Amino acid sequence: MVLTALRGAIGFLTRVPVGRDEAAWGAFARSPWTFPVVGYLVGGLVATPMLLAAPPASVPAPTVALAFVVAVYAVTGIGHLDGVADLGDAAVVHGDREERRRALKDSKLGVGGTVALAVVVLGLATAALGLVEVVVTAGGGGEEALLAALGTVVAAEVGAKAATATLVCVGDAPHEGLGSALTGESSPRAALPALALAAPAALLAWPRLLPGVAAVFAAL
């Protein structure tokens, strides 16, 4: 059951072609603890471009930042960007909750969604650029800075997945669909294992403790 749930989580949270069968999906839907576990895998994969910043490659920082953004969407797909766009459109609606929900379901992209997408993608790129510049300017401590940068990326991804798992456990979907298929299977108590599995990620930027802790808790 554990391996089946992990397969389902990988299939749902990444573009890796595994875990797309009904049994894997069902096991995953009942196992929110799999979110942060897969977060470690995803974080490790999307952090790989950071290695290009260090010698002997020493690729220019803006190029590495672009490679990082490409890696994020190559590994995870653009499903969450679709959600960001819907959320941005709903956020600028002048009306009550029901009008905002109608905007969420509208497939047309508005100004709010466009701005939200730009902010998210630009945020990823500038965050990566900041991490790469720390590595480049570290001098003799370049190896330590590189490990801290890699750890920060993984911690951020694990934190994001732990936040999603928490929402699945404590949230209540407003209508039948993908959300209710997840929230209907878990209780608030199920969030505790997910958070416990995510907690070690805060130490991955060691010996620079603050970045890892900030990456995990900012997501939550």
pLDDT tens digit at each of 220 positions of the chain: 899 999 999 999 999 998 889 999 999 999 999 999 999 999 999 999 999 988 888 899 999 999 999 999 999 999 889 999 999 999 999 888 889 988 888 888 999 999 999 999 999 999 999 999 988 887 656 788 899 999 999 999 999 999 999 999 998 887 787 788 888 888 999 999 999 999 999 999 888 889 899 999 898 8
Dihedral sign of CA atoms 17, 200, 214, 139 in order:
negative
Give the model's pLDDT for residue 29: 92
Sequence-distant (6+) residues with CB within 8 A of 210 are: none
Q: Cα 42 to the chain's mean position, in Å?
A: 8
Put simply, whether the predicted model's pTM sits higher than 0.95 gets the answer no
Contact (Cβ atoms closer than 8 angstroms) between residue 54 and residue 135: yes
Give the model's pLDDT for residue 181: 86
Q: What is the 3-state secondary structure (H, E, C) of the chain?
A: CHHHHHHHHHHHHCCCCCCCCHHHHHHHHCCCCHHHHHHHHHHHHHCHHHHHHCCCCCCCHHHHHHHHHHHHHHHHCCHHHHHHHHHHHHHCCCCCHHHHHHHHHCCCCCHHHHHHHHHHHHHHHHHHHHHHHHHHCCHHHHHHHHHHHHHHHHHHHHHHHHHHHHHHHHCCCCCCCHHHHHHCCCCHHHHHHHHHHHHHHHHCCCCCHHHHHHHHHHHC
| 162 φ, ψ (degrees, to nearest 5) | -65, -35
Interatomic CA distance for residues 4 and 165, integer angstroms: 18
Sequence-distant (6+) residues with CB within 8 A of 15 are: 74, 75, 76, 77
Interatomic CA distance for residues 108 and 114, integer angstroms: 11
Give the model's pLDDT for residue 139: 64
| 153 φ, ψ (degrees, to nearest 5) | -65, -45
Token pair of 208, please?
């620079």
Give the model's pLDDT for residue 1: 84
Provide the Cα torsion 58, 61, 64, 70; round to 10°: -170
Interatomic CA distance for residues 166 and 157, integer angstroms: 14
